[in-house]
């Protein structure tokens, strides 16, 4: 249960090795945390994430097996987690960037990106929404992307999955309005992580820690969408008004 200051006691992370998600977990006051569940495929990275959070003094960190594409297993997994206790904050933080050129050549690869980023998130998001609804409180944090705000030549396949996810998050938030269950849609820009390593940084790039702090602040304020960093909201609003012939010619 969140306390009066909006601090959660139990956090569930889908995409439990995501650097942004782990930074978000760390941005909450650790004294109140009692249960942190990292849902991800078994990996050394997942073990390391559990160890690192535990070493930071966070209580009750554990891992569960989760595969975004195995949608038929999501219901049982979500039920098992919520049956063991209320979850205050759920982070939907998994996703793959993909390789646009390869996906254009082999549509099967594009389908995999869509299944993970969109279908998988939709599936687990709806199962979580059901349980938030029956516990009468809690927030689902959907990690969208500014790539979904306007399709770009260089990453429109990834961008289209995030656009779909973003619309899902907004609509779900409206469906749940007034029920105590809430959805926060987060739209990060270029975040310096493993996923973007080696890529040229875009304007307004941020570290995962900055995203985590913005998410925690937005949760405390009960916001429904947040850009990371905040000024991206205005940059994207401007970009969205550009005529396509101009937008198409922008670098990258």
Partner 1 sequence: MTQELSLQQGEQLLTGWGRTAPSLAQVVPCTSTAEVQEAVRTAGPRGVLVRGLGRSYGDAAQSGGARVLDLQSINSIDYDAEAGLVTAGAGASLDAVMRTIVPLGAFVPVTPGTRMITVGGAIGADVHGKNHHVDGTFGAHVRQLSLVDGNGELRELNPDDSTSAQFWTTIGGMGLTGAMTSACFDVIPIETSRMSVDTKRVDDLEEVMAHMVTGDSRYRYTVAWIDTVSASGRGIITSGDHASLDQLSDKQRSTALAFAPKALASAPNLFPPGLLNKLTVKAFNEAWFRRAPLDRADEIQSIGAFFHPLDGVQNWNRVYGPGGFLQYQFVVPDSASELVRVALDRLRGISAPSFLTVLKRFGEANPAPLSFPKTGWTLAADVPAGLPGLGTVLDELDDLVADAGGRLYLAKDSRQSPQMFARTYPRLGEWQKIRDELDPRGVFTSDLARRLSI
Provide the binding-site residues for partner 1, judged by CB under 8 A: 1-7, 9, 29, 31-32, 34, 85-86, 129-130, 133-137, 172, 175-181, 220
State the nearest-atom distance from the C-beta of 137 to partner 1, in Å.
4
State the nearest-atom distance from the C-beta of 221 to partner 1, in Å.
8
Contact partners, residue 130, CB within 8 Å, separation at least 6? 78
Active-site residue, 227 included: no
Nearer to partner 1, 34 or 240 (CB): 34
Burial class, 144, CB count within 10 angstroms (exposed 0-12 / middle 13-18 / buried 19+): buried
Contact partners, residue 11, CB within 8 Å, separation at least 6? 25, 28, 33, 35, 36, 37, 87, 88, 89, 90, 91
Q: State residue 187 phi and psi, 5-degree precision.
A: -120, 90
How far is residue 231's CA from residue 228's CA, in Å, rounded to a whole number? 8
Which has the closest alpha carbon to 142: 124, 166, 164?
Answer: 166
Nearer to partner 1, 107 or 180 (CB): 180
State the nearest-atom distance from the C-beta of 181 to partner 1, in Å.
8
Give the Å distances, CA to CA, from 52 to 56, 184, 225.
6, 26, 29
Which has the closest alpha carbon to 48: 26, 22, 78, 69?
Answer: 22
State the nearest-atom distance from the C-beta of 234 to partner 1, in Å.
24
What is the dihedral angle through the alpha carbons of 63, 67, 71, 76, rounded to the nearest 10 degrees?
Answer: -20
Nearer to partner 1, 7 or 19 (CB): 7
Q: Does an H or E element contain 126, and which? A: helix 121-135
Nearer to partner 1, 76 or 242 (CB): 76
Catalytic residue among 118, 156, 158, 227: 158
Nearer to partner 1, 85 or 229 (CB): 85
State the nearest-atom distance from the C-beta of 206 to partner 1, in Å.
22
Which has the closest alpha carbon to 117: 61, 156, 152?
Answer: 156
State the nearest-atom distance from the C-beta of 150 to partner 1, in Å.
29
Nearer to partner 1, 9 or 161 (CB): 9
Q: Measured at the alpha carbon of residue 113, what is the angle toward residues 108 and 114, in degrees to the nearest 5?
A: 95
Catalytically active residues, by annotation: 158
């Amino acid at each position: 249960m969140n306390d009066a200051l909006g601090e959660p006691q139990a956090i569930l992370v889908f995409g439990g090795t995501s650097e942004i998600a782990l930074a978000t977990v760390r941005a909450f006051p650790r004294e109140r945390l009692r249960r942190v569940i990292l849902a991800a495929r078994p990996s050394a990275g997942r073990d390391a994430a559990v160890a690192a959070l535990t070493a930071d003094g966070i209580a009750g960190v554990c891992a569960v097996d989760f595969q975004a594409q195995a949608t038929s297993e999501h219901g049982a997994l979500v039920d098992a987690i919520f049956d063991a206790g209320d979850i205050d904050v759920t982070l939907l933080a998994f996703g793959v960037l993909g390789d646009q050129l390869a996906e254009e050549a082999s549509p099967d690869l594009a389908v995999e990106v869509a299944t993970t980023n969109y279908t998988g998130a939709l599936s687990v998001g709806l199962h979580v929404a059901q349980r938030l609804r029956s516990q009468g409180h809690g927030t689902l944090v959907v990690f969208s992307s500014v790539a979904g705000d306007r399709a770009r030549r260089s990453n429109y396949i990834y961008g289209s999955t995030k656009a779909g996810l973003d619309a899902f998050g907004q609509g779900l938030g409206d469906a749940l309005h007034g029920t105590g269950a809430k959805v926060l849609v987060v739209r990060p820009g270029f975040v310096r992580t493993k996923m973007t390593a080696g890529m040229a940084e875009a304007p307004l790039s941020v570290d995962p820690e900055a995203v985590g702090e913005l998410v925690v602040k937005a949760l405390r304020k009960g916001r429904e969408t947040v850009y990371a960093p905040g000024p991206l909201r205005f940059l994207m609003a401007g970009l969205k008004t550009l005529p396509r012939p101009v937008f198409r010619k922008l670098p990258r």
